[in-house]
Homo-oligomer: A and B are copies of this chain.
Amino acid sequence: MNILISDRKQNTRLPDIMRTAVHLFVKKGIDGTTIKDIAKEANVAEGALYRHFKSKDDLAWHLFSTNLNQFTADLMATVYPETTAQKRIEKFVEESFTAYEQNPELYSYLILQEHSELEKYSQSYIHPGHVVMKIIKDGQKSGEIRRGEPYVLGSMFVGGIIRVCVVKMYGNISKGLQKYTGEVADMIWDMLNAPTS
């Protein structure tokens, strides 16, 4: 389900507004994007936006938290039926690359950028890092994953995935990321697995 398109069918320009907002927020930052920019590109009057959101930051925050919660939930639902650490990692990579390719701008907005503008809102939202940490800690408990500070291991895991997306976004990788799912999952596994013997 495309998370940007609300399932309530109203005769509203809301989806246009949201899609445009993500596009511009990614391109120019939240502070760098004006209401006029969004209104013009979404073919809406400036005032129209305030029918749906209390403020620009409210829009930015809504876009962020709603979609990030959704993405994290989807990730959890896909990854955790798997029972081995290796399989979980593979699913995590697959799901991440798929999300990126389906909507690079939204993925960038949710995952690739830090939003200092949103710090005023609660920082306790659920995010994919939680899934990563769970995979690591469960894997360490079961002996599948090497010992070490879990945050370091988790960072090495998720940092690589994030960076691949960034580099793809900058145009340095031409094929679809899904092509690299297996290879990347293998690399992460080589990095994290506990040496047998």
**Copies of this chain, count:** 4
For the residues of A in contact with B, the DSSP-based class is: helix
Say which one of A4-12, A65-73, A160-168 lies at the interface with B.
A160-168
Is A113 located at the chain interface by the 8 A CB criterion? yes
| Contact between B184 and A32, CB atoms less than 8 A apart | no
Instruction: List residues of A (85-141) whose CB comes within 8 Å of B's CBs.
Output: 112-114, 116-117
Which residues on the B side are within 8 Å of A190 (C-beta)?
Answer: 190-191
Contact A167-B151, Cβ < 8 Å, known A159-B159, A160-B160 = yes
Is A43 located at the chain interface by the 8 A CB criterion? no
Instruction: Give the interface of A toward B (CB within 8 A).
Output: 27-29, 31-32, 112-114, 116-117, 148-149, 151-164, 166-167, 172-173, 175, 180, 183-184, 187-188, 190-192
